[in-house]
Amino acid sequence: MKQRVTLNDKTFEVMIPAEEIDKAVAKVAEQLNADYASTEKAPIFVGVLNGSYMFLADLVRKTNFNNEVTFVQISSYEGTQSTGTIKQKLGIDFDIEGRDIIIVEDIVETGHSINHMLSYIKSLNPHSVEVCTLFFKPEKYLYELPIKYCAMEIGNEFIVGYGLDYDQLGRNLKDIYVLAND
């Protein structure tokens, strides 16, 4: 039987163990290392709070090029469903004009949040903007915007752990959990 955890009123079981996550993060870091090793100015990782903090921390530790880190905060979820409305609570408070930006997300589903982030970042006149996500749900994605750096593609499951939450709980779990079927 798979390891289980109960968060609020729902039971979840392990879907992706921590070791698999670590390998996927390392693979994305290798891609980033190859693409940004010779950049003149240090690229800026922009972590989208709250979910990306664990992925971003592990990812940055695996890079071998100079970089900067900052955070923005947006939200679109209530419970297990996206509201479809993006609320931005925290933004970039320094000049990024002419810089290479890597937006780091925990998960890209419909693409509404990342579309919002790309519009916001592009309005600040960076040199380039790329998206890096831990999880990507291609079946739910509604945009043509490319996701250049993707650690893992998954189906339409609702997941928690490794930074992702269910009503603010479960972010601390080292594995990824999915709703249990029974």
pTM of the model: 0.88
Q: How far is CA 3 from the centre of its chain?
A: 24
User: Does 58 have pLDDT greater than 90?
Assistant: yes
140, 171 contact by CB (below 8 A):
no
User: Does 89 have pLDDT greater than 80?
Assistant: no
Domains of the chain: 19-34+41-154 (3.40.50.2020)
Determine the angle formed by the axes of helices 18-36 and 53-61, rounding to 10 degrees.
Answer: 60
User: Does 90 have pLDDT greater than 60?
Assistant: no
What's the Rg (C-alpha) of the chain? Answer: 16
